[in-house]
Amino acid sequence: MAVVFKGFQINLPFASILLILLLCLQSGGGQKKKENMLAEKVEQMMEWSSRRSVIRMNGDKFRRFIKAPPRNYSVIVMFTALQPQRQCSVCRQANEEYQVLANSWRYSSAFSNKLFFTVVDYDEGADVFQQLNMNSAPTFMHFPAKGKPKRADTFDLQRIGFASEQLAKWIADRTDVQIRVFRPPNYSGTIALALLVSLVGGLLYLRRNNLEFIYNKTGWAMAALCVVFAMTSGQMWNHIRGPPYAHKNPQNGQVSYIHGSSQAQFVAESHIILLLNAAITMGMVLLNEAATSKGDVGKRRIICLVGLGLVVFFFSFLLSIFRSKYHGYPYSFLIK
């Protein structure tokens, strides 16, 4: 059997071979084009990364270098709102930790073109926020080298916090890239400790002939209470997890100072709990003073009522916060 092609008679097997060769040439040309495009994208990303550890992206750059194939590198994107008019203090705090992590990767010996850190600011890429149906900031996402992001590729900032060490652990889980966080030296703690030691030493020297205040039980009791209040309000948790001070809803601008989950808290929340515990303690002290002192009965009655009011009101407030975080907790008192 033969095929007539523009006046030439060609055997069918020869025509099939010719068609296969044409398809192979076309496929090879397309593959070569993809390789060249990928090489250009990697080269451009490396050039930007050499200038700054975190690459700023607008909508066009995001779609070209992160969303569109081909891509053989992973990208970490922080979606944020850093402009002053946005008044996002959490975004600034998260950005500082993000910069520490990106610098640790950029200047490490393991740095390669397999991972890049980028940022999309709302005022520079609002279309990206709309495309991803994103209505809060800051948000961290991982875009893998192959495929689309999964649920685990969005960092759980509310539960874990945004400390560099926590971000590095999450990145290691998603990309197998281990990043050792190097923080710039901070001597503020050392200077503060030196000043405190100097102040205490100077005070002891000036009062060297009268050190009876060291044995003042009230002073030591106040110092112990301050430590207890700090620890029971969650200050150590804040230091370890690095949570935001508060949360501002970008849709209605409402600020939340109490976290809605029992697994997390805001810094402002720990301050509120500290003050509530201090008020309850003050009420208990007043009740004890009214019961043990031997002063005027009318004065003792007033002290007792004030102490009782402090304990009842602020304990009710504390219980209502506990009830709002542990959903389903059945008990309340005065305040629901």
Do 114 and 244 sit in the same domain of this protein? no
Do 37 and 108 sit in the same domain of this protein? yes
For residue 324, give both structure tokens: 């709002």
Residue 323 has pLDDT above 80, yes or no: yes
pTM comes to: 0.56
Count of domains forming the chain: 2
Torsion sign across C-alpha atoms 226, 231, 236, 241: negative
Interval 217-265: pLDDT, tens? 888 888 888 888 888 888 887 877 777 788 777 667 778 888 877 777 8
Does 91 fall in a domain? Answer: yes
For residue 243, give both structure tokens: 């949570």
* Structural domain that includes position 43: 32-175
The length of the chain is 336
Residue 207 has pLDDT above 60, yes or no: yes
Which one of 146, 175, 204 terminates a domain?
175
Do 43 and 156 sit in the same domain of this protein? yes
Phi, psi (rounded to 5 degrees) for 244 = -70, 160
For residue 199, give both structure tokens: 């102040």
Which of the pair, 11 or 289, is modelled with greater confidence? 289
Do 38 and 115 sit in the same domain of this protein? yes
